[in-house]
Chain A
């Protein structure tokens, strides 16, 4: 990448996704996209806009509403040597296709004694905030990260959205690439060239000395806002955007906590058995003696995502709640 930060043009999160698809399909004739409304209409959110017009019906495929068959289409085509991108419109719909994802895609390589690779990308859209209620708003990443064989990616900004998607598609393993719906319109710097953000490498989006926030997806931005609030109170927070949940960049987390001695994990998914539980466990295994306070978790409560905007607002963590979580960790001991 030759462009410097100052030279980068601004692009929306969704625009970055669409640009990545256009560019990688131009580069690699084995890449195709398939899913509900992916073809002629370019996807309900526009991620796949213009692909069918440019690359034809066989490379931007409108499929039946058949999540199992959509993922199976990708698996079979990947085993046959193609590099499919299949779309499950909402992360909630992943549950409809869980056999093909968790019992098939994730395990084929291992069960076959390594005799195949599975370069399959499953794109989907996660998160609450649109009053889409309990079946169109979930963040189910911890269920997926729990399955050996899968990789799980959740970009938080346009730069990562493009670079991580390119890396996901070029990866020879099944990757769940989960966008966050409420981030679609957010703009940020993003190179025009095709580039990769490597999977499994976290991004320290704000260096700090007093506490570490470990987060990803939509909460990465909220955590930076929380860090600004705390900065005005004299608390200097480090923010780590994981970018990839599987594989997880544990090294960066542990190194940071050893410096700051305090940690709060923040995610939009529900707290119980969420990624925060794994991250907290790893920290206490690797850096117990460095901790000056219990590891905090700021996450959604253990309930389905509610419909009404007032209830949904109370459900999703925000900068204010994250700041409260960090204060609790800093004030302790």
Chain B
């Protein structure tokens, strides 16, 4: 597959947007400006960027508890995201959802999800709606290596294959379910081995390489659009920070050497090195893009800080859809 310079620049842009947003969120969290739980995507940017760059705006994505990267990758509005993470009224969900439920249905991002594996059946439902309407829209199901051991995921994957739905299952295998290594929770080395059991084609991709993710997703999406059913992509990746928060855990569950090894394969450094070598971008151009994204993120932080907290009168709003309103 030929990868154009525009695709490389697009992948790079999506990844630094995610990285800078997440780094800023982590700082706000450590500074107690962000309530609740925070699951950072730093390290895994190549997956969200590679997948989302291969999608059309009408394609849906179902997300996870580690969902910020998916929304940014799909084109999410950084100020609205930051405000939501801070529990503010101008956030994507008016401060009702927070990090674990952030969504943008206009971008067809169907929501982060606080229950591991639970986003899969919902995204499969969106895939069903596409088939029902006879369009060629595709739904992507993001999930971690931990989710494949929960029943809902298995049910959803089997249902998608049985009904031949236009779905792409993207596993972000970061090797840890919270703080437990994957080797302790599965008797297979590669998550993709499960794909055969569902009757889906499956591939393993370097999840630190956005181009590889983009290529695999493009093929799987084309297959789904053509009505040939779901595919499974296992992206081998790594999260730099903890399951929750940044570096605040009181126990050590992985070695510094392991973390450092993965950082030598950093997805952003990698694509910048390649683009410089191929003459796709100059260092000045890269610096300019980085400065622009950092300014966007800084602006988002200020927007979040300046946004008011929700009026307590809104507490009971939107528990139900009232006939005639909102529907």
Contacts and interface: CB of A to CB of B under 8 A. Distances in A.
Interface string A111-125: 111111111000000
B95 A76 contact: no
Contacts of B295: none
Interface in A65-85: 66-82, 84
Given A73-B125, A76-B127, A78-B125, A113 B92 contact: yes
Nearest to A247: B320
Contact of B327 (A66, A68, A72, A117): A117
A222 B34 CA distance: 56
Central interface residue in B95, B123, B162, B163, by most chain A CB within 10 Å: B163
A72 B163 CA distance: 14
Contacts of A84: 125
A58 interface: yes
Contacts of B259: none
Contacts of A151: 320
Given A61-B163, A72-B121, A172-B321, A77 B128 contact: yes
Interface in A223-245: none
Given A64-B159, A72-B121, A109-B321, A58 B152 contact: no
Central interface residue in B93, B128, B151, B162, by most chain A CB within 10 Å: B128
Nearest to A34: B128
Interface string A240-275: 000000000000000000000000000000000000
A113 B318 contact: yes
Interface string A100-113: 10011000111111
Interface residues of B, number: 48
A118 B321 contact: yes
Nearest to B103: A112
A110 B129 CA distance: 22
Given A72-B120, A103-B115, A66 B131 contact: no
B126 A173 contact: no
A185 interface: no
Contact of B125 (A74, A109, A171): A74
Contact of A113 (B95, B126, B152, B162): B95
15 contacts: A63-B162, A66-B155, A72-B125, A73-B125, A73-B159, A76-B122, A76-B127, A77-B132, A79-B105, A79-B110, A79-B126, A100-B118, A103-B114, A109-B319, A116-B105
Given A77-B128, A109-B321, A113-B93, 11 more contacts: A70-B159, A72-B118, A72-B156, A73-B125, A77-B126, A80-B129, A109-B319, A114-B318, A118-B321, A149-B320, A172-B326
Interface of A: 32, 58-59, 61, 63-64, 66-82, 84, 99-100, 103-104, 108-119, 148-149, 151, 171-173
Interface of B: 60, 62, 91-97, 101, 103, 105, 110-111, 113-115, 118, 120-132, 139, 151-152, 155-156, 158-159, 162-163, 317-321, 323, 326-327
Q: Across chains A and B, which 8 residue pairs bring their CB atoms closest together, nearest first?
A: A76-B125, A72-B121, A114-B318, A113-B93, A80-B129, A69-B155, A66-B155, A113-B94
